[in-house]
Structure formats: C-alpha cells, structure tokens
Chains A and B, each alone.
Chain A
C-alpha cells in the first residue's frame, strides 16, 4: 500500500514537471497553426485554427531545408571536434598538471568569463583575412573554439573523479598514456560526452550572435537566422516564425533523444570496478 502511494506521488510530480515544461510548446504550436489575425488569446479558447498551411509557407519562404542542412553541418562538425579536442585537453590537464597544462586550464577558465563582445571587430578582421566570412568551415571552427572552455572544464572535472587505475592496466599492456586515454578512459566518459554534445550542441544550434556576423549569404544561413528573417523592421510574422521554429526544433530534439541514452544507471559503475 505504501509503495503504491509513493508511486502515485512520484507520478504526480512527474505530471507537474511535464505540464510546466510543455505549456510554452503548446503556445508555440498554437501560434504555428493559427491564421495571422490570431496572435494572442481573446478568451479561454485554446484551440487553434489548424492552419497547417503555415508550415508549407514557412518552409518555402525561409528556405529552411537549406538552413537545417547548414545547421547540421556546423553543429555536427563542431561537436566532433569539440569532443576530441576538449576530452584530450581535459585528460592532459586532469592527469598531468604541469605548468603548461595548468596555464592552459586557467586561461580557458578566465576567458570563459570575458564578455565575447570585446573581440567582435578583431575577430571579424581575422575571419575576413582567412576567408572565413560566409564559410561553414570557419563557423564550425569558431563554434568549437567558443565552446572549448566550457567543455574542457567539464572534462577536467569529471576525469579527475575517475580513478587512475583504469588506464594502468592498458599501460602495462604497452600503451602510452596517450593511447591509453583513447582506448580506455575515453569510453568511461560516455555520460560526459553526452552532456557536452547535448549542452554545447544546443548552444551551437541556437547560435545567433556570431552567425549574424559571419553567415550573411543566404546559401549558408542557419536555422536561427532563417527564423529571424520573420522579424522585420516593424513587427513580425508570428505564425510563420512559430512554424519555422517548430521545424527547426525537430533535429535538435532527435539529437537529444539519441544522446540521452547514455544517462542510464550502471554503465560506468561496473566498469570502474573491473
């Protein structure tokens, strides 16, 4: 009996969590299928007009198919690089804190706190000089770099909490510390990798501040830029904007669904012991 009531309480809590989180999505959806005259609530009438035509219109007007492609190229590219560079750096910093590594860590940590707006003009000059304006490659590297401090910080902290012993057997087998990391330690970092992918991925996916400067051509626009095209000098096309946002949300949610699998109890537990 007690068990049942605990379970009931749990599900009530979950219900509340879900309800709180889902309301705004309902609003977004509501906007996305309404006719242009309904961009607010007149009454408790919560049923939209079911105007799914908005989606076609938004797709067509913003060319969001191309934007999704660009966003995916940039996000995936940056995430692959980020996981490789940051985990390697995190390992080196956590395990071998020599002067160089410690300096790198402190500099990264400090730079994370410097408002990035300071570098706007010099960064633009740099991007121009290396042909990085309107280039997906340049944007990919820039996004990797922007998320590096956070990712390195995350990896360093977690690697410190993983016992050194796990690499030792590999080293006895003739691996160097370097190869032991990629072959052994890296696999223990699955939940951390997922966190980095999910958290940094979301930031890169939504990046607007830098994209607006470096992706000005319509062929390289990302989703936030495509959505922002519905904001005009005076006013906005709310319904189309909402429809475009809903479309742009889908790949990001799929990414999350895929990576959140690693947050399952027991992956690392047994392994650390073994």
Chain B
C-alpha cells in the first residue's frame, strides 16, 4: 500500500499536470505598479524584522489550490503578507476587510 500523499499545490517539481504545458520564453511580463508596490512592502517589512521569507512562503502555500493558480504572482504575495501581518497583530484583521 502506498501511503504517499500528493504533493502540496506549490510543490510543483515534476507535476504531471504541467508536463505538456509549453514555457514561453517571450513571456517576460515585468511587474506592473501593483507588483512593484507589493514587492517593496515585502522588502521593507523584512528589513524591519516583521516578516521572514519563510513566513511569506508559508502564507502562499496555505492558499487553496484554485486560488493559488488563479491569482497573479504578486497577488499571492499580497494575500500572504497582509494575512501574516494581521495574524501577528502588526495590523488589525479588521483593517483588511472591505
């Protein structure tokens, strides 16, 4: 009996689902203003000792699979970072609610 669980969503090495998906060398898509803003906030929070890269990764890894693949790269970052800042009490959870 094989008790091996399936890989987590983010753990993509060798994933059969993408085995036949082409990689497009021309797909550069440099970050837009949104992405640059999220990226800058991440770096500032890290420098201030409020966030480690592993905390951010853990937050990204906790995203449900459909959301993980539907969200843009920096949108995943934002979900993770803002959630972790609320979790740690750096900001209030209510601050993020519409």
B is bound to A: no
Chain B interface (Cβ within 8 Å of chain A)? Answer: none
Chain A interface (Cβ within 8 Å of chain B)? Answer: none
